[in-house]
Every structure is written in structure tokens, then in C-alpha cells.
Structure 1
Amino acid sequence: MMIDPGVIRWMLDTDPALRWQVERDLLEEPEAVWQATRARVATEGMGAELLAHQDPDGQWAGGAYFPGDFDWHGPEAADGAGQPWTATTWTLNTLREWGLDGAALDGTAEKLAANSRWEYDDLPYWGGEVDACINGFTLANGAWLGVDVESIATWFAEHAMTEGGWNCEWVEGSTRSSFPSTLNSLKGILDWEIRTGDARLREARHAAQDYLLRRRMLHRASTGELVGPWATSFGYPFRHVYTAMNALDYLRRASLHDGVAPDERAADAIEVVRSAQQPDGTWLQQRRYPGRVWFELDVPVGERSPWLTFFALRVLRWWDENDAR
């Protein structure tokens, strides 16, 4: 697909966390070029700012998934107030997704092992807990930082639902897979598989992908209706929210890792992403997920988002180039 050079220049005129990915995946620059930009994530811009907020004990905001000062009975915990995004797991997720070299966090894994506990049952950080999404994040972050998180890999093998995915509410008795829980699990498993070379969860990963693909990435199996309005409303950062763009970004990476062509059952989701493109070739920030942040990572709602534009163009290029072949 053709990409407007002006849109490329606009995306390049951003933070190194995005710029190196544009160089690698859209411009196909030599590795030395994009690696040099990637190295700057640790010392410049948003990456350096997030690193500066780390606590001496290795955590961020004094907590594993929630800030240490989170008031479970206050207004921040009320419905609609939003998950705070400042604690350790969310910050690690962001830095990992931005391509930060794990060496920039030297000693962090050990500090978290010693000092960080999950809010659920005070469980040790690198052992994970009972939530599939949290365990997916921790599996990926552990692999990135060189931690032995094989117990979490075993947990995923033992907790897959019969229809193929996962559900964070299994502890409440749910036996049905969930779109968001499955996607967050898949992203973590794939990242762990790529970083470690361990393929023990590949069969489970493929079964979970098929759970989503049988539903054309967007629809309920029972009625064929859209799984929820959140699936077609795009915001960056993706956080834990299931959207067509977030799911397709995963599917692209899995397809490239597995060496297979795009699955035609994702065509509906592709068209949702394609139809959101603006006449100037960009995508708009359609929503923001409420909650405490260190600082905003992208533009306000209604403005042109360089991050969403990048993810959309990368997914569409992968789909269209395979379609052409």
C-alpha cells in the first residue's frame, strides 16, 4: 500500500519510542538506523521520563497493579473512575512495548522479587496471580527482564477454557472465554514465546487465536452481534481494552512469527480499521481510558494520533501485501 510521505514525516517527528518503529516497519530502514533510534528510548523523551518515576525499591507508584496509595473505598475506585495506570505493571508494559532495552532496568527484576506483592492475596510479583490479563502482562515482562516465569506459562496451560481462550473471571465461576482476557493472554504468551524460544504454549495460543477468528475478531458466537462498542472505538495506549486494532496488531505479529499468511476471517476487523482512516491518511484518537497517569502518552480525543496511525498503517500494509501476493 502507498503511504503519504507527509504522514510518514509527521510520525517521524515524534518521540523515539514511536520513531524507531516507523523506521523499521514502514520505512524498512537498515537495522543500524532504527536500532540507534531505539537506543534513545532510555535516555530521551517519554521513555526516560517513565524511568525517572521508578521508586528506589524497583516499583512504580509503590504498587504492583495499583498505586500504593490507592483508596479502595474512595472516588478513584468508583465505577467509571478508571484503573490507575501509574503502578509497576502498567509502566513495565509501556516500556517493554516501546522497545526499551531490558538492560536499562538492570536490577529491577530482583528488586521486584524482593519488594513487590500483588494486591490479590499478597502473592509474590513474579509468580503471577489469578487474573489472566495480569498473568499475560507478567509473563511478557518476566521474559523481557530475564526472569524465570515458567510457573505462569504452566498456569496458562492449565486454565485455558474448553472453547479456546481465557477469562479473568474464572475465579468467579465463569467457564466462557472472554475477548479482552484472551487477547491480553495471547499477547503475553506470544511475547514470551518469541523472547525465550519456548513453544510449549503454541498449541494453546493457536486454539485461542481460533476462538477469536471463529468470531471474525468482532462478533458474538451466539448472536453474531458486535461483541461490544469498545471493539470499534480506538484509543492509544491500548491498555487492556480489546479493539479491532489492538487484536489485529497481535495477529500480525503472530502471523509473522508463525510464518503464515493472514487469516481471511480477520477481514471484518481489517475493514473496521480501514474505514476509520481520515481523508488526510491519518487516524483519530477516538477515546481515552480514564485513570491516573504519569503523563499523557498521545493526543487528546478528536485529534490526529501518530500512534494509532502507525499501528493502522502497519496492519494494513501486512494485510494488503499478503493479499497482493
Structure 2
Amino acid sequence: MLWRVDSAEAPEQWWHALGPARQGTLLPGGTSTTWSLVLLRAFGVEPDSEAARQAVGLVRENVRWEHGAEPFFSGEAEPCINGRTVALGAYFAVDVARIVERLLGERMADGGTTTCCAVSTTCVRPACPPTTGWPR
């Protein structure tokens, strides 16, 4: 285990210590909710530890995306952000089936995804070519 919490209150202290100016959902990088969870995952926090469950529970209960005010683990408008959220949900054992269904529904005819502009009706360029074995 690479990360250790000395008290059960640590996740709540972490959440409140960020302060309103640093509690963006995606931005600013490094202190936003998304990047805080990305860092916890990268540092190898045990996803089933009590501290991680408390921290992720705070996110699940309190965080809404700036676009549309969707709950954090329900996803937002852009596929690239949703992909990252799926990875976080999978790591921290949060149900992200709704986002996965949305991403699969937004696939382009060639199997690729839009370039983070699903909100735009004019975006037709794939972000990446389809990969071998990608379901069609």
C-alpha cells in the first residue's frame, strides 16, 4: 500500500481543505475533483480502504459537473472526460454503467468517438481510428 490515512476523518478533511476555489469538477488541474481522484489512483490508494470509500462517497454525493449539473459518476457531455470518469469509477468500484452506455451510443459509424465535442452537432471527425476488435 502506497498511501495511508492516520484517521477516519482524513477524507472529509481532504474534501474541505480543497476550499471552494479549488473544488472544480475538472479544473483547475491538480486540485479539481477529477485530478484528485486520478492522483489517488496513480499513487496506488487501496480502492476498497475505508478512507477511499469515504472520499469517493463524498464525491458521489456532492460533486456535479459544471455542464448540466450531472452527478460526477453519471458523466458529462464530453466523451474524453467520460472515459476518464469510467476509469475512475471502475477503479473505485462505483457504478458507471450509465456512462458506458452513453459512450457506446455515441460511437461514430467507423467505431471511433467524437473529438470531445459530442455537444456539437457539427463534429464528425473521429478522435482516434477504430481499434482491432472494437465492437461494431
TM over 0.5: yes
**2:23 aligned counterpart, secondary structure:** coil
Separation (CA, whole Å) in 2 of partners of 1:158 and 1:105:
31
| Kept after mapping to 2: 8 A contact 1:93/1:141 | yes
Read off the aligned partner of 1:85 and give its amino acid letter: G
The Cα shift of 1:58 comes to 9.0
Residue matched to 2:123: 174
Read off the aligned partner of 1:142 and give its amino acid letter: G
- Matched residue pairs, number? 123
The Cα shift of 1:132 comes to 0.9
**1:129 aligned counterpart, secondary structure:** coil
Residue 100 (str. 1) matches residue 21 (str. 2)? no
Alignment of 1:109-120 (within 5 A): 109-120=56-67
| Kept after mapping to 1: 8 A contact 2:89/2:96 | yes
| Kept after mapping to 2: 8 A contact 1:59/1:88 | no
Separation (CA, whole Å) in 2 of partners of 1:166 and 1:147:
23
Deviations along 1:48-97, whole A, 9 cap, x unmatched? xxx89831399993121124xxxxxxxxxxxxxxxx33201012112213
The Cα shift of 1:149 comes to 0.9
Alignment of 1:120-139 (within 5 A): 120-139=67-86
Q: Between the two proteins, what is the percent identity of the paired residues?
A: 30
Read off the aligned partner of 2:16 and give its amino acid letter: P
The verdict on how the C-alpha distance between 1:110 and 1:57 changes in structure 2, with shifts beyond 3 A counting, is farther
| TM-score for the superposition, normalised by structure 1 | 0.34
Residue 42 (str. 1) matches residue 3 (str. 2)? yes
Residue matched to 1:54: 14
Separation (CA, whole Å) in 2 of partners of 1:171 and 1:132:
10
Deviations along 1:108-135, whole A, 9 cap, x unmatched? 2221122111011211111001111110
| Root-mean-square deviation over aligned CA pairs | 3.0
**1:155 aligned counterpart, secondary structure:** helix
The verdict on how the C-alpha distance between 1:55 and 1:171 changes in structure 2, with shifts beyond 3 A counting, is same
| TM-score for the superposition, normalised by structure 2 | 0.75
Structure number, greater radius of gyration:
1
Separation (CA, whole Å) in 1 of partners of 2:118 and 2:79:
9
The verdict on how the C-alpha distance between 1:117 and 1:57 changes in structure 2, with shifts beyond 3 A counting, is farther
Alignment of 1:211-250 (within 5 A): none
**2:103 aligned counterpart, secondary structure:** helix
The verdict on how the C-alpha distance between 1:57 and 1:127 changes in structure 2, with shifts beyond 3 A counting, is farther
**2:36 aligned counterpart, secondary structure:** helix
The verdict on how the C-alpha distance between 1:135 and 1:88 changes in structure 2, with shifts beyond 3 A counting, is same
Q: Which runs of 4+ in 1 moved over 3 A?
A: 56-60
Separation (CA, whole Å) in 2 of partners of 1:174 and 1:59:
36
| Structure 1 unaligned residues grouped into runs of 5+ | 1-38, 45-50, 68-83, 183-207, 211-325
Deviations along 1:103-162, whole A, 9 cap, x unmatched? 241212221122111011211111001111110111111111121111011011101111
Deviations along 1:272-302, whole A, 9 cap, x unmatched? xxxxxxxxxxxxxxxxxxxxxxxxxxxxxxx
| Structure 2 unaligned residues grouped into runs of 5+ | 6-10
The verdict on how the C-alpha distance between 1:115 and 1:164 changes in structure 2, with shifts beyond 3 A counting, is same
**2:99 aligned counterpart, secondary structure:** helix
| Kept after mapping to 1: 8 A contact 2:12/2:55 | no
